Amino acid sequence: MITGMTQLPKRNPVVLAKELATLDVVSGGRLLFGLGAGYLEPEFRALGAPFEQRGAVTNEAIEAIKALWMMEKPTYQGWFFSFGGIDAQPRPIQNPIRRYMWEKRAVMARGEVRRWLVRNSLIRCRLNELRRRV
């Protein structure tokens, strides 16, 4: 099961973590999660999301989602997202959930997300690789 490109700065990471974990459980651990930072400023304006800080927001959303999936009692304190005293169920079957990101999106986020993906040995795929998986 493959998601489309989810633009993290436009999503609530707590809600998204639950949605993705549920999809991973329902699919038997076969979820491939597409993520990006976004690039269309008018869309960000319409949602009231910080376009200029989309790379930092994306990085923080990833860290918040990881906390929800990995911590027994998830807590997170960041510039854009904060939570505590919640339980994140279900937990994904995969550890970690496989992710992919278009190179264009990484460049748009000033390389921040791309560095995070490489540093954490996550899967990066190009469009042709995704077509072969479907």
Residues 94-112 pLDDT 10s: 876 666 554 444 444 445 5
**pTM for this one?**
0.72
Q: What is the pLDDT of residues 27-85, one digit of tens each?
A: 998 888 888 888 889 999 998 888 999 889 998 999 999 999 999 999 999 999 999 99
Strands 82-83 and 76-77 turn out to be antiparallel
Residue environment code for 79-98, b if the CB has 16+ CB neighbours within 10 A, otherwise e: ebbebeeeebeeebebeebe
**3-state SS class at 38:** coil
Stretch 117-131: mean pLDDT: 46
Return the pLDDT at 49.
Answer: 87
Asked whether residue 89 carries a pLDDT value surpassing 70, the answer given is yes
Return the pLDDT at 110.
Answer: 47
Q: Domains in the chain, start-ordered, CATH in brackets?
A: 2-133 (3.20.20.30)
Return the pLDDT at 68.
Answer: 94
What confidence category does residue 18 fall into, taking pLDDT thresholds of 50, 70 and 90?
Answer: very high
Other residues' Cβ atoms within 10 Å of the Cβ of residue 74 = 20
